[in-house]
Amino acid sequence: MRPVHRGEAVDVRPDAWITHGRPGSIVVPAGTDILWVEGTGVIRTELAPWLDASIWLQGDLDDQERLLTARDGDSPEQREQVANWMREELSFLLREQPWARATLVAAGPARLAHDRHTELVVSTG
């Protein structure tokens, strides 16, 4: 994050990408004004000094597991990968409680009828 704050370019290949044989890297051009980093692990203690703002999207873990299965398939290998991810995810959530540091907390998916293309549902409770 330091090079980005200094306006420098960044080209990084995450360790997990190397471990899982995923090709490519993440490239952030020099002079980038806004950098949006997606992922549960972003709102963690060690990165807090480098975040200008953060959004916690609250979701049901069962829904997330179903979405992963719908997106990536339902093979035995995929089920094992999802189970491993859930173990890591739950441990991280209990330890870090990222929602407590988030600038904004958004809950979803909305359970109220609405036109998702033109309306935003905001809960007051």
Same domain, 85 and 31: no
Question: Closest Cα to residue 93, out of 56, 125, 63?
Answer: 56
- Other residues' Cβ atoms within 10 Å of the Cβ of residue 70: 9
Establish if 83 belongs to a structural domain.
Answer: yes
Same domain, 22 and 79: no
- Other residues' Cβ atoms within 10 Å of the Cβ of residue 43: 21
Establish if 11 belongs to a structural domain.
Answer: yes
CA separation for the pair 40, 44 (Å, rounded): 8
Same domain, 55 and 82: yes
Same domain, 21 and 58: no
Given the structure tokens 């992922």, which residue do they identify? 39
Establish if 120 belongs to a structural domain.
Answer: yes
Q: What is the mean pLDDT of residues 18-47?
A: 88
Residue 102 structural domain: 51-125
Same domain, 27 and 74: no
Number of structural domains in the chain = 2
The pLDDT of residue 8: 92
The mean pLDDT value of the chain amounts to: 84
pLDDT digits (tens, 9 = 90+) for 3-13: 888 899 999 99
Same domain, 29 and 62: no
pLDDT digits (tens, 9 = 90+) for 59-115: 877 888 888 888 888 889 888 888 888 888 889 989 999 988 889 888 766 566 777
